[in-house]
């Protein structure tokens, strides 16, 4: 029935880091696929703004990149999650990242003097750039679509690295498709909201904590998960920002906060840490397109 | 006697990420302080190039930033250390980072329309920018000195964020000193060479490894250090780059590879990991200026 009738309930406001054509935009479209009529999309210009929009009730949900399989953690997302009090992770989305070389229509490869993009896609195509455009200068932009916009308005000597959706939106020619150095290029996005998700039986839980300033204190936390046979799928350290050599840790574990063992383990972690924040339990991502 | 006679031995070639005026330059000057006549400085344009210059025997030593107390790990340094076979960490330097707002002489604060710098110093001054220059656009440059150079050649509406040494080199006016949001802003640099350092009794050892793809495999490695009463001062994860959700881990532990216990622990870590690389033992940094 869905798709026949227009959604008549209250629209769910969802924020992402724009402009249109970013991989965040693509991830958001993937997340709401099949339920497009229930969502109203809101564009923000930075990752921090997207997340704060949830905290400030400007949107109901927000999509923010959390880690890339090649570049690693997205620090601004982690730092904002650690700081802001009233937000939870309610879902995750994994997106395969394909980068492309975009130019103004008619530009030939030998005319390209400068390649611009966000530092992350530049990093993902660094071998390609070295090999194919060793003499081009590389310049950083605020986003892949800012780069595409600049190319759209330029004299033809500049190329942008960006998504196919960006090429379409800004009327650019795709000079070469799939120029990323590795095909294992995936980004994991978190869907952020005021509440997390109910138990499905295949869930993940995220927490952030700082340990006491004593030798072996991180080991003692991991020991708790070991004791309860809880699998950790990820550990990420970020600076505590008060002193060099002090860190906070982001940990993902398998299970839901309503699982008895996980609940007990988290109670114990809370006692053995100087700060702990529960970031949410949510379903492990399963790609519907792959099924 | 040193300082009276000119050094007549073979000069030690040391590389850093230039141009002159970067914090890497400042750290290098701090490292060779009192032994300036023994060193010849070589400038490289990227961190990867600096480290590869050691691997390729173009320099004897190289100084590369490894972590900042606010921004976290310097990923390119970690990734290059993990990949390159014949390099070791032989020393570390900690530098307090002070950022400054640099303009062309005579520029007034109300004339500034754009602030440029490397993404890291921008991140370190983000509150200051929001508060004092809410209407200025922010643009990323490849380095703080590239930003200073651009300001030196501009029409006066652009400000750069950079070091005092950059202001001096490029003839810029320091409009405001110490604009970093936090005074806990320190960067740790690694001195990279073909060999690490001899035991001093107050040493640190760095390794990088990947665990087997089994639950609890990271815990089992930390358990080895716990067994031998070895203190871990840092753990940093980076993506393994072959699959989302697979990581390599950089660990710093207190002690030297010639300490019996540490040697035994590392032997065991080597057996329980799918890949392990010894990155070096070196003296724990003690700031000579603070003594």
- Residue-level pLDDT at B289: 62
Cβ within 8 Å, pair A239-B67: yes
Cβ within 8 Å, pair A67-B142: no
Please give the average per-residue pLDDT across B250-270, as a whole number.
97
* Structure-model confidence comparison of residues A46 and A199, the more confident one: A199
Cβ within 8 Å, pair B236-A241: no
**Closest chain A CA to residue B214:** A231
pLDDT confidence bin for A41, thresholds 50/70/90: very high
- Residue-level pLDDT at B1: 38
Domains A12-96+185-193 and A100-176 are alike in CATH topology? yes
Cβ–Cβ < 8 Å for A286, A258: no
Minimum mean pLDDT range among B121-125, B131-135, B192-196: B121-125
Distance CA A228, CA A232 (A): 11
DSSP string over A104-167: STT--GGG--EEEE-HHHHHHTHHHHHHH-TTSEEEE-SSHHHHHHHHHTS-S-EEEEE-HHHH
A186/B contact by beta carbon, under 8 A = yes
Q: Which residues of A touch B290 (CB under 8 A)?
A: none
Q: Which residues of B touch A138 (CB under 8 A)?
A: 142
Chain segment A129-167, per-residue pLDDT in tens: 989 999 999 998 888 888 999 999 988 899 999 988 889
Distance CA B211, CA B218 (A): 6
Cβ within 8 Å, pair A239-B119: no
Q: Which residues of B touch A232 (CB under 8 A)?
A: 215-216, 218-219
Task: Name the nearest CA neighbour of A206 among A90, A94, A95.
Answer: A90
Neighbour order of strands in the sheet with A275-283: A232-239, A247-254, A203-210, A275-283
Chain segment A79-88, per-residue pLDDT in tens: 999 987 789 9
Other C-beta atoms lying within 10 Å of the C-beta of residue A48: 18
Cβ within 8 Å, pair A239-B69: yes
Chain segment A90-104, per-residue pLDDT in tens: 999 999 988 999 999
- In chain B, DSSP finds a helix count (H) and a strand count (E) of 9, 15
DSSP string over A237-288: EEE-SSSTT-EEEEEEEES-TTSHHHHHHHHHHHHHSSEEEEEEEEEPP--G
Please give the average per-residue pLDDT across B255-263, as a whole number.
97
For the cut 90, the answer to whether the pLDDT of residue B279 exceeds it is yes
CATH assignment of A12-96+185-193, among 3.40.190.10, 3.65.10.10, 3.40.47.10, 3.60.20.10: 3.40.190.10
Instruction: Specify the pTM.
Output: 0.83
Three-state DSSP class for B223? Answer: helix
Domain ranges across chain B = 12-96+185-193, 100-176, 203-281
Mutate to test the interface with A, among B78, B237, B238, B284 (most CBs of A within 10 A): B237
Mean pLDDT taken over chain B:
91
Half-sphere exposure of B213 (CA within 13 A, CB side): 7
For the cut 80, the answer to whether the pLDDT of residue B2 exceeds it is no
**Nearest chain A CA: its distance from B119 CA (Å):** 9
Chain segment B138-161, per-residue pLDDT in tens: 998 888 888 999 999 988 899 999
B232/A contact by beta carbon, under 8 A = yes
Q: Which residue has the tokens 């203190």?
A: B231
- Residue-level pLDDT at B184: 86
Distance CA B122, CA B185 (A): 13
Q: Which fold has domain B100-176?
A: D-Maltodextrin-Binding Protein; domain 2 (3.40.190)
Rg, C-alpha atoms of chain A: 21
User: Domain A203-281 sits in which CATH superfamily?
Assistant: ACT domain (3.30.70.260)
Exposure string for A51-72, b = 16+ CB within 10 A, e = fewer: bbbbbeeebbbbbbbbbbbbbb
ipTM of the prediction greater than 0.85, yes or no: no
Backbone angles phi, psi at B185, to 5 degrees: -100, 100
Of B68, B75, B226, the CB nearest to A216: B226
């Amino acid at each position: 029935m869905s798709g026949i009738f227009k959604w008549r309930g209250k629209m769910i406001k969802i924020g992402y880091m724009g402009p249109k054509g970013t991989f965040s935009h693509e991830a958001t479209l993937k997340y709401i696929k099949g339920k497009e009529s229930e969502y109203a999309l809101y564009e923000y210009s930075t990752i921090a703004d997207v997340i704060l929009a949830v905290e400030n009730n400007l949107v109901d949900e927000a999509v923010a990149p959390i880690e890339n399989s090649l570049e690693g953690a997205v620090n601004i997302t982690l730092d904002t999650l650690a700081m802001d009090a009233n937000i939870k992770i309610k879902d995750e989305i994994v997106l395969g990242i394909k980068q492309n070389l975009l130019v103004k229509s008619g530009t030939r490869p030998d005319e390209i003097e400068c390649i611009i993009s966000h530092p992350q896609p530049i990093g993902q195509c660094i071998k390609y750039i070295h090999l194919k455009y060793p003499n081009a200068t590389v310049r950083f932009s605020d986003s892949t679509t800012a780069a595409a916009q600049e190319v759209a308005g330029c004299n033809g000597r500049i190329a942008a690295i960006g998504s196919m959706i960006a090429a379409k939106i800004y009327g650019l020619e795709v000079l070469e498709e799939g120029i990323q150095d590795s095909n294992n290029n995936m980004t994991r996005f978190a869907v952020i909201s005021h509440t997390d998700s109910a138990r499905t039986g295949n869930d993940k839980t995220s927490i952030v904590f700082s340990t006491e300033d004593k030798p072996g204190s991180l080991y003692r936390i991991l020991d708790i998960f070991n004791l309860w046979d809880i699998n950790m799928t990820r550990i990420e350290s970020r600076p505590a920002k008060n002193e060099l050599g002090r860190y906070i840790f982001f940990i993902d574990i398998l299970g839901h906060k309503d699982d008895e063992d996980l609940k007990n383990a988290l109670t114990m972690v809370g006692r053995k840490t100087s700060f702990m924040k529960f970031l949410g339990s949510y379903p492990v991502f399963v790609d519907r397109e792959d099924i």
